[in-house]
Structure 1
Amino acid sequence: MPEDSVDHAKLRHHGDVDARPGMLDFAVNVRGSAPPDWLRLRLAARLDSLGRYPSVAADLAARSAVALRHGRAPEEVLLLAGAAEGFAMLPRLAPELAAVIHPSFTEPELALREAGVPVSRILLEPPYLLSAAAVPAAADLVVLGNPTNPTSVLHPAEAIRALRRPGRIIVVDEAFADAVPGEVESLAHAASSDVLVLRSLTKTWALAGLRCGYFLGAPELLARLSHGRPHWPLGTLQLEAIGATAEPVAVEQAQERAREIAVERASMIERLRAVGVDVHTPAEGPFLLLRVADGELLRKYLSDKGIAVRRADTFPGLGPDYLRVAVRGTAEVDRLIAGIRAASL
């Protein structure tokens, strides 16, 4: 797609723009308004050390915890100030042609285009199944999400591996993988010289304001990504949060949440369909892609009623009748359903 035909404003749009303070928030996929108490205590305990620079030992400790969690070596972990930093690093791989699988999170395409990297958009049609044949043979970088934002599609690991070609690097955005029971189809544990896996701690642990994430991949690729990075790229609290959430007890807690999300999602799908909303399935992420007539009008109506839903026309391949909603509990969904009913009267 020619650069002059791409709307960068849409690529920059994120769900937090749709959710004003005080609204019932279905627009942002963060789970909860603050980290759990045990994590807050861990972070608070480090406040007295903020007068010292983050140490090499603290960085190694956090990388080692992540490595142990995924069955990797510490050298295969690159800690990030949020997944967004990881996307901003992608141009350092110097691809000649990047293929981005859509509909999906737009930050990778934006980062690549702003760096002058040629981008080929691969627009999947419902049911949004991955096809290696759809990717240009010349693409030496392929970026996709799994599970994919906003479709909630979980691609089989084998379908992702089928994208591999000599000289090509695959980047899998697994920002929501820990919200899938068993983390099935994840490639985080599968060391490979040509596959990079990106993880975020923002959603499950309500750490959007702290910016925490990491890349998993071959040390040579991680070195290319981190080239030119400033000293002390992460702060003490970020390192503490990354290490803490990689511990076995935290991983099990995340899996408990994933199982809760699966139950809530099934109920939410049934209730939305009962009021005439088209919900894309199968859905495996902590969010749902909806299609409704006059979707933009519904979004504005709900906003006026204090309910925020994510516009989805900013995702390539989707139009104004598409909306994305985070999976929430019964009480929150009650208000959403009431709002949809009222809008149709």
Structure 2
Amino acid sequence: MPDDRVDPAKLRHHGDVDVRPGLLDFAVNVRGAAPPAWLRERLAARLADLGRYPSAAEAAAARAAVAARHGRSEAEVLLLAGAAEGFAQLPRLAPRAAAVVHPSFTEPELALREADIPVARVILEPPYELAGALVPEAADLVVLGNPTNPTSVQHPAAAIRALRRPGRTIVVDEAFADAVLGEPQSLAAHPLPDVLVLRSLTKTWALAGLRCGYWLGPPDLLGRLAHGRAHWPLGTLPLTAIAATASPEAVAMAAAFAEDIAAERDSMVARLRAIGVQVHTPAAGPFLLLRVPDGELLRKRLAEQGIAVRRGDTFPGLGPNHLRVAVRDAAAVDRLISGIETVGI
């Protein structure tokens, strides 16, 4: 039975909807307007190959690169046309009852509800910690993010493991894990028979328009997720991007990005607090959750000044006075601070 309290439009809302052309973008958590030059060159070199179908060998090479990057076997990797495809596959696990830990990214809940799978929302109150979360014992599928969008909370790996039960599958959305220096709480390199880890290449590598990601998990669960999938699910360019960004050199570059993000985030927190904005910390991701007296008005006034921020009320557990802002460099933050001061809070 559908839940009349659930608004599908809010579950479908994503930050890109909050960004009009020409606005300074704090609403979308993609780092940069385009991939790094070396990655663009790697992709451009494959344009002449688009007249042929991507080969099984190319897919195997990309899968092997991901497996090596995380210390997994190739059988534990399922390549995806973006993390969104992975969420859309969740109903193939055929759970009897799912639980989604919120506030968090809403796409998994939407996919499950559209498949008529019962979903329980597990709402975490500030400071949004997983310890003590009231996950229904009957839930045989539990979905959560780490670090979590939009709270930027990083849950301890031990707290995630504590959710395991016989007959239950845990899904961890690690779309932003490579933006955390050292990935200390990631389960990507720690195989468990009942845990699936989802990774995205969209954010760190500015590949939102190419759709690249992958599952890590036990082969039996990956087989169920992939059942009924179309032939050639990924094209030549996504396969090229996945293999390239899994290389040791790219992983080292992502670690350097994570170091920059941490410094920019600390500076941004201090500057926002200095003008009276409430910022949730500790924060681990490349974004921050804000709370202001009139979030809807502030968001609209900032847009009038050419600045886009992400509304927070579409995330279960948050309200209209919550906003999410991407971590940006000092020059961009100058404009955000100026905009907030102009509007007033």
* TMscore range, shorter length: over 0.9
Q: Separation in 2 of the partners of 1:177 and 1:266?
A: 18
Map 1:19-34 onto structure 2 (within 5 A).
19-34=19-34
Is the Cα–Cα contact under 8 Å of residues 152 and 288 in structure 1 kept in the other structure?
yes
1:81-92 alignment to 2 at 5 Å? 81-92=81-92
Query: 1:132·1:159 contact (CA, 8 Å) conserved in 2?
Result: no
Instruction: Quote how far apart the aligned CAs of 1:301 are.
Output: 0.2
Length-normalised TM-score, structure 1: 0.99
The equivalent of 1:121 in structure 2 is 121
Establish whether residue 6 from structure 1 lines up as the match of residue 6 from structure 2.
Answer: yes
1:55 equivalent to 2:55? Answer: yes
- Aligned runs of 1:257-336 on 2, under 5 Å? 257-336=257-336
Displacement after TM superposition at 1:184 (Å): 1.1
Question: 2:184 matched to 1:184?
Answer: yes
State the Cα distance separating 1:131 from its structure 2 match: 3.1
User: Which segment drifts farther, 128-137 or 196-205?
Assistant: 128-137
Partner Cα separation in structure 2 for residue 27 and residue 129 of structure 1: 24
Q: SS state of the match for residue 224, structure 1?
A: helix
Judge conservation of contact 2:2–2:116 (CA < 8 Å) in 1: no
Query: How many Å apart are 1:21 and its aligned residue?
Result: 1.2
Contact 1:78 1:214 in 2 (8 A): yes
- 2:211 maps to what in 1? 211
Task: Read off the aligned partner of 1:163 and give its amino acid letter.
Answer: L
CA deviation string 1:189-243 (max 9, x = no partner): 0011100000000000000000000000000000000000000000000000000
SS in 2 for 1:134: coil
Q: Quick check: 1:122–1:134 contact (8 Å CA) kept in 2?
A: yes
Structure 1 pair 41/244, CA: closer, same or farther in 2 (3 Å)?
A: same
Letter in 1 for 2:285: G
Mapped to 1, the partners of 2:189 and 2:115 lie a distance apart of 30
Q: How does 1:154-233 map to 2 (within 5 A)?
A: 154-233=154-233
Q: What is the identity, as a one-letter code, of the residue corresponding to 1:191?
A: P
Q: What is aligned with 1:98?
A: 98
Letter in 1 for 2:44: A
Q: Distance in 1 between matches of 2:144 and 2:13?
A: 18
Letter of the 2:103 counterpart: P
* Residue type at the aligned position of 2:72: R
1:245 aligns with: 245
Distance 1:219 1:130, change over 3 A: same
Map 1:68-87 to 2 at 5 A.
68-87=68-87
Stretches of structure 1 lacking an aligned partner (at least 5 in a row): none
**CA 85–338 in structure 1, closer or farther in 2 if over 3 Å, else same:** same
Amino acid across the alignment from 1:298: L
How many angstroms apart in 1 are the aligned matches of 2:78 and 2:237? Answer: 16
Give SS of 1:4's match.
Answer: coil
How much has 1:48 moved relative to structure 2?
Answer: 0.8
CA deviation after TM superposition for structure 1 residue 3, in Å: 1.7
CA distance in 2, matches of 1:71, 1:207: 24
In the alignment, the residues of structure 1 paired with residue 227 and residue 115 of structure 2 have an alpha-carbon distance, to the nearest angstrom, of: 15
CA contact (8 A) 2:122 2:133 kept: no
Shift of 1:133: 5.1
Distance in 2 separating the partners of 1:269 and 1:124? 22
Distance in structure 2 (CA, Å) of the matches to 1:79 and 1:140: 24
CA distance in 2, matches of 1:343, 1:49: 51
Partner of 1:134: 134
Is the contact made by 1:66 and 1:246 (CA closer than 8 Å) also made in structure 2?
yes
CA contact (8 A) 2:29 2:287 kept: yes
The runs of 4+ residues in structure 1 deviating greater than 4 Å are none
What is the identity, as a one-letter code, of the residue corresponding to 1:254?
A: A
Determine the C-alpha separation between the residues in 2 that align with 1:173 and 1:74.
Answer: 20
Whichever residue aligns with residue 339 of structure 2, its letter is: G
Partner SS, residue 220 of structure 1 = helix
Please give the alpha-carbon distance, in whole angstroms, between the structure 1 residues aligned to 2:212 and 2:181. Answer: 21
**Counterpart amino acid of 2:52?**
R
Q: Which moved more, 1:132-141 or 1:196-205?
A: 132-141
Work out the CA distance in 2 between the residues paired with 1:275 and 1:68: 46
Q: Give deviations 1:118-164, integer Å, cap 9, x for gaps.
A: 00000000000103551000000000000000000000000000000
Inter-partner Cα distance in structure 2 for 1:132 and 1:335: 40
- Determine helix, strand or coil for the equivalent of 2:285: coil
Report if the CA contact (8 A) 2:123-2:317 is conserved: yes
- Helix, strand or coil for the counterpart of 2:182? helix
Identify the residue that residue 152 of structure 1 maps to in structure 2. Answer: 152
Aligned residue pairs total 345
